[in-house]
Amino acid sequence: MSKSVFYHAGCPVCVSAEHDIINLVGKENVEVVNIGENRTRISEAEKAGVKSVPALVTPNGNALHINFGASIADVKG
Protein backbone atom coordinates (compact mmCIF):
# COMPACT_ATOMS: atom_id res chain seq x y z
CA MET A 1 0.00 0.00 0.00
CA SER A 2 1.34 3.43 -0.87
CA LYS A 3 1.11 6.22 1.66
CA SER A 4 -1.66 8.70 2.16
CA VAL A 5 -0.61 12.35 2.27
CA PHE A 6 -1.93 14.59 5.05
CA TYR A 7 -1.75 18.29 4.19
CA HIS A 8 -2.11 20.93 6.85
CA ALA A 9 -1.07 24.50 7.64
CA GLY A 10 0.11 24.18 11.24
CA CYS A 11 -2.95 25.68 12.95
CA PRO A 12 -4.30 24.04 16.14
CA VAL A 13 -7.16 22.35 14.22
CA CYS A 14 -4.64 20.93 11.75
CA VAL A 15 -2.18 19.73 14.38
CA SER A 16 -4.96 18.01 16.31
CA ALA A 17 -6.18 16.29 13.13
CA GLU A 18 -2.58 15.27 12.32
CA HIS A 19 -2.30 13.44 15.65
CA ASP A 20 -5.64 11.70 15.08
CA ILE A 21 -4.72 10.63 11.54
CA ILE A 22 -1.37 9.22 12.69
CA ASN A 23 -3.10 7.34 15.50
CA LEU A 24 -5.69 5.93 13.07
CA VAL A 25 -3.54 4.87 10.13
CA GLY A 26 -0.04 4.68 11.61
CA LYS A 27 2.91 7.00 11.05
CA GLU A 28 4.40 4.60 8.49
CA ASN A 29 1.28 4.89 6.29
CA VAL A 30 1.01 8.67 6.02
CA GLU A 31 3.27 11.46 4.84
CA VAL A 32 2.59 14.68 6.75
CA VAL A 33 3.06 17.90 4.78
CA ASN A 34 2.79 21.27 6.52
CA ILE A 35 2.13 23.61 3.59
CA GLY A 36 2.34 26.56 5.96
CA GLU A 37 6.04 25.79 6.33
CA ASN A 38 6.66 24.01 3.01
CA ARG A 39 4.89 26.36 0.62
CA THR A 40 6.47 24.69 -2.43
CA ARG A 41 4.01 21.81 -1.95
CA ILE A 42 0.85 23.97 -2.20
CA SER A 43 0.48 23.40 -5.95
CA GLU A 44 0.89 19.65 -5.39
CA ALA A 45 -1.95 19.75 -2.85
CA GLU A 46 -4.15 21.72 -5.25
CA LYS A 47 -3.49 19.23 -8.06
CA ALA A 48 -4.49 16.43 -5.68
CA GLY A 49 -7.87 18.13 -5.14
CA VAL A 50 -7.21 19.76 -1.77
CA LYS A 51 -9.48 22.80 -1.34
CA SER A 52 -8.91 23.37 2.38
CA VAL A 53 -6.70 22.06 5.12
CA PRO A 54 -6.50 19.81 7.00
CA ALA A 55 -7.02 17.22 4.27
CA LEU A 56 -5.96 13.66 3.67
CA VAL A 57 -5.28 12.41 0.15
CA THR A 58 -5.64 8.64 0.00
CA PRO A 59 -3.48 6.31 -2.10
CA ASN A 60 -6.45 6.06 -4.51
CA GLY A 61 -6.36 9.84 -5.01
CA ASN A 62 -9.41 10.79 -2.95
CA ALA A 63 -9.07 14.14 -1.16
CA LEU A 64 -10.78 13.87 2.23
CA HIS A 65 -11.32 17.27 3.85
CA ILE A 66 -11.28 17.17 7.65
CA ASN A 67 -12.92 19.95 9.68
CA PHE A 68 -12.01 23.34 8.28
CA GLY A 69 -8.82 25.08 9.30
CA ALA A 70 -8.14 27.27 6.26
CA SER A 71 -8.82 27.38 2.55
CA ILE A 72 -5.92 26.87 0.16
CA ALA A 73 -6.44 30.48 -0.95
CA ASP A 74 -5.92 31.63 2.66
CA VAL A 75 -2.76 29.55 2.98
CA LYS A 76 -1.40 30.96 -0.29
CA GLY A 77 -1.95 34.46 1.11
Q: Are 57 and 7 in contact (CB under 8 A)?
A: yes
Tell me the pLDDT band of 1, cut-offs 50, 70 and 90.
low
User: What digits encode the pLDDT tens for the residues 36-77?
Assistant: 899 999 999 999 999 999 999 999 999 999 987 778 988 888
Higher-scoring residue by pLDDT: 71, 22: 22
What is the structure's pLDDT at 45?
A: 96
Domain residue spans in the chain? 4-76
What is the structure's pLDDT at 74?
A: 83
What would the CATH number be for the domain defined by 4-76? 3.40.30.10
**pTM of the entire structure?**
0.91
Sign, CA dihedral 74-52-66-15, equals negative
Query: What's the rounded mean pLDDT across residues 18-24?
Result: 95
